[in-house]
Chain A
Amino acid sequence: DAKTTQPNSMESNEEEPVHLPCNHSTISGTDYIHWYRQLPSQGPEYVIHGLTSNVNNRMASLAIAEDRKSSTLILHRATLRDAAVYYCILRDYAGGTSYGKLTFGQGTILTVHP
């Protein structure tokens, strides 16, 4: 399975933008980049996903490098509620036993200061 590398932790101040990086140098052409987050004492929740083009939704933006070997999740104005563990996951659609599976790594712990 293609792996992702994320910083263990990051810090931000409230109402400032946050850029969460993810490296995935072994990404294949059929891998989609998914981001989930897990708030304290809750189950993970979906944030955003993309393949090649940058994506925006109400929660965040996803910037994908042209060679797809890295991506960045952007929270435009961090709030205290955004403090969570953020997971960058490659979701494989090539077929086989790993098709469509969501395999979580260790993620980045985001701390937001008031």
Chain B
Amino acid sequence: DAGVIQSPRHEVTEMGQEVTLRCKPISGHDYLFWYRQTMMRGLELLIYFNNNVPIDDSGMPEDRFSAKMPNASFSTLKIQPSEPRDSAVYFCASSLTLGDRSHSGANVLTFGAGSRLTVL
């Protein structure tokens, strides 16, 4: 498996523009997570999905942010309109399960390489 695939790796845009970040999870994984990382706030969980359904979006900063998962192999995180404070690295992660507590690895999160967003 190629792991979690994110695109684009780097995005530079101007304030007010729409930004769409994309993620392809590991095949067969039922859970997908979006995180954001900044120097000030560290790694923050924005939203996660189970079987394509959003379960918890309490970390989404505001209405400018939206996330969708139209099918099991694709998710998007959209920012419209973008602002300079949205500049960050956005990570997508996936896992087979959430609650398995064994050491089978089923609840391990596998992260993508991230999308670095710069809003000017």
Which residues of A line the B interface, CB within 8 A? Answer: 32, 36, 42-46, 49, 51, 55, 57, 87, 93, 97, 99-107
Among B42, B48, B99, B107, point to the contact of A104 (Cβ < 8 A).
B42
CA distance A45 to B44 in the complex (A): 15
Q: A51-B101, A93-B101, A100-B98 are in contact. Are A46 and B42 (CB under 8 A)?
A: no
Query: Least Cβ distance of B105 to chain A in Å?
Result: 8
CA distance A57 to B110 in the complex (A): 17
| Interface residues of B, count at CB 8 A | 25
User: A55 and B103: CB pair below 8 A?
Assistant: yes
Q: Which of B1-44 contact A (CB under 8 A)?
A: 4, 33, 35, 42-44
Beyond A42-B113, A46-B105, A87-B43, 14 additional contacts (C-beta under 8 Å) are: A32-B101, A42-B114, A43-B111, A43-B112, A45-B110, A45-B111, A46-B109, A46-B110, A57-B103, A93-B101, A97-B56, A97-B58, A99-B99, A102-B109
A59 to chain B, nearest CB (A): 12
A-B residue pairs in contact (CB < 8 Å), sample of 26 = A36-B109, A42-B113, A43-B4, A43-B91, A43-B93, A43-B114, A44-B43, A45-B111, A49-B103, A51-B101, A87-B43, A93-B101, A97-B56, A97-B58, A99-B98, A99-B99, A100-B107, A101-B48, A102-B33, A102-B45, A102-B109, A103-B45, A104-B42, A104-B44, A105-B42, A106-B42
Specify which chain A residues have a CB less than 8 angstroms from the CB of B60 in the assembled complex. none
| Known contacts A32-B101, A42-B113, A93-B101; A104 and B43 CB within 8 A of each other | yes
The reply on B108 being an interface residue by CB < 8 A is: yes
Name the CB-closest residue of B to A87.
Answer: B43
Cβ–Cβ < 8 Å partners of B114 in chain A: 42-43
